[in-house]
Chains A and B, each alone.
Chain A
């Protein structure tokens, strides 16, 4: 074998070891790379034992019944040494109509910016193929971590080829279904745990519902909504909760939400005083989720709690009539308009409305339309 001068780095032990570690970590045949070393007299010396660098029976090839939680966590730490503990995992094992094994983990996503995709490693009979699984798993599941091993995925991993491959489509559908079933079973069997982990899980579930119609149909039974007091409800439960109080005069159900509990505190308090419930929608995907839910739910409208006065958020019967004359109203608007501050990129329009004596004397609102346009 000939090695050119500028490729001498490939002879370095560390470099060879890194390459072996990436491509041969789980080969079914033991790979020896030199001898095991030990410290003797202040330096490293070879021992008689071979240095086996791979694990010939990685976790996903073993039976789930033989494995404990600790084994899954250890395997996860081996794969992603710097990550936090995973939330849940799914052991995949199919023989028909295609072969697929693997373990997928739901990682803890620390912040939304940290949406690191494509951490799943693809193997073919324990031979490393790629860590780009776009097209093989549904888009929203590229947020997951773990390993997929299938001899039925063509090794020619050009994307256009993958997307048109029938097996790949089946595999993608299967994985999506498996994930959904797993979430559903956790929700059913241990709702408390599911609720505790909801904040970490919601990014997967909401992303999934937004991108996959089929996933929405399953996930809408266990996806949760959180109100400003921190209570969690399924879509069905929440609907039942608010139907009595939050139906307007045209029969539309009005979901009130806040983006920021502190900034909109006054409005939330006013709504709560009217026995309304306010949802907290502060996630990165929540703006898109609101539009999705408005399309999916019948006769339903989402309104931000500070988009109008509490009486007008949910219009129930005819509004209070104003008792002021036009000239009086002009005086009030004139007086207040003249004292409104001049701020860059902000315009204020003063209006007079008839409200209760105990309501705030003055408040600032921004229409739902403006709010949504700004958030797009």
Chain B
């Protein structure tokens, strides 16, 4: 059983999309990132559409019947999608770092589950006092 004991604990963090606070976080994130996010999202949509088309085309073919150019294009698209994904993550992370409400919500739920300790707890207390001023 040591396999299970050594395994990392996996937790699901559930956001309630109908709660006013979550709605606010979403609308603020959308409006302040819209400018940078929009081109990324539309590029991503185009790439994904192309990827789906390529996969559909090769569905009935055997591996050696697929032209090399298509294979290259697909791997190129995959790479681009991965890059876009990490760009998007970086962009959202940058925004999230400045949104106190996000950190506060996370800390509150960690606190409720006895997982907020040490430095993180101290930061939470400081931030809470800061927000009350």
Contact = CB atoms under 8 A, between A and B. Distances in A.
30 contacts: A331-B92, A332-B15, A332-B25, A332-B29, A334-B92, A334-B93, A335-B95, A337-B89, A341-B110, A346-B8, A347-B11, A350-B13, A351-B12, A351-B14, A352-B17, A353-B15, A353-B16, A355-B16, A360-B19, A360-B109, A361-B15, A361-B16, A362-B14, A362-B108, A363-B16, A363-B109, A365-B14, A366-B9, A373-B4, A376-B4
A323 B17 CA distance: 8
B20 interface: yes
Interface in A116-174: none
B115 to A, nearest CB: 7
B106 interface: yes
A352 B15 contact: yes
A80 B121 CA distance: 50
Nearest to A264: B113
Contact of B13 (A329, A340, A373): A340
A367 interface: yes
A33 interface: no
B17 A354 contact: yes
Given A347-B10, A349-B12, A349-B13, A331 B109 contact: no
A339 B10 contact: no
B26 A351 contact: no
A97 interface: no
Interface string A314-343: 000000101110011111111111111101
Contacts of B19: 355, 357, 359-361
Given A331-B29, A361-B20, A374-B4, 11 more contacts: A322-B17, A334-B93, A335-B92, A351-B15, A352-B14, A357-B20, A361-B19, A365-B11, A365-B14, A370-B9, A376-B1
Contact of B109 (A328, A330, A364): A364
What 10 A-B pairs are tightest by C-beta distance, nearest first? Answer: A338-B93, A334-B92, A361-B19, A373-B4, A355-B16, A335-B96, A361-B21, A345-B8, A350-B13, A362-B109
B112 interface: yes
Interface residues of A, number: 50
A351 B35 CA distance: 25
Contacts of B113: 263, 306, 364
Given A334-B88, A347-B8, A364-B12, A339 B96 contact: yes
B1 to A, nearest CB: 5
Interface string A16-30: 000000000000000
**Among B18, B20, B105, B110, residue most surrounded by chain A Cβ atoms (within 10 Å):** B18
B105 A361 contact: yes
Nearest to B93: A338
B99 A335 contact: yes
Contacts of A306: 113
A376 B5 CA distance: 9
A348 B102 contact: no
Contacts of B97: 338-339
B47 interface: no
